[in-house]
Amino acid sequence: MKELYATTMINEGGRSGTSYAEDQSLSLKIAPPGSKLADVTNPEQLFAAGYSACFNSALDLIKRQKKLKNASTIKVTVKLMEQASFDYVLAVEIEGHIEGLAVEEAQELLEITHTVCPYSKATMGNINVTIKAV
C-alpha cells in the first residue's frame, strides 16, 4: 500500500480545549456540542466537514468515470447518540444532490460512492450511515 498523505492533530483539554496541527497550520477552539460560544467547533462538526468533502471528492471520481460533469453538493449530518448511560456512538446521514440528474440516478451514484469514499470505508460496519439523494 502506498501512503499518499498523513497529518497529525493534537488536542489539549478534550471537548473544552484546543486542537491544533503539529505543524501549526491549523488551530481550533473546541467546545461541547450545543455550546453557544463564538469561533468554536466540536468533533462532530469536524467529522461532518471531513466526511462531506471526502464523499464529494469520491463522487467526483465516480462522475468522471461515467463522463458526467454535473455539479454536486453533499450535506453530512453527524449525530452524537447515547445508547445507554456512558455509552456513546455516532450516526451519519448523507444527503446528496447532483444537478440535472433524476433522484433515482443520483441515488445510484451516491450508493456507488459509498463503496469508494475512504470515510465510508472507515465507518462501514461501525456506525449507522444513511444515504439519500435529494
Q: Are the C-beta atoms of 95 and 68 separated by less than 8 Å?
A: no
pLDDT along the chain (134 residues), means of 10: 96 97 96 92 97 98 98 98 95 98 98 98 96 98
Whether pTM exceeds 0.85: yes
What local confidence, expressed as pLDDT, does residue 10 receive?
97
Beta bridge partners, 93, equal 77, 130
Q: Are the C-beta atoms of 55 and 117 separated by less than 8 Å?
A: yes
How many helices (H) and strands (E) the chain has is answered by 3, 6
What local confidence, expressed as pLDDT, does residue 36 receive?
87
- Residue 129 backbone dihedrals phi, psi, to 5 degrees: -125, 125
Cβ neighbours for 12, distance < 8 A, ≥ 6 positions apart: 18
What local confidence, expressed as pLDDT, does residue 34 receive?
87
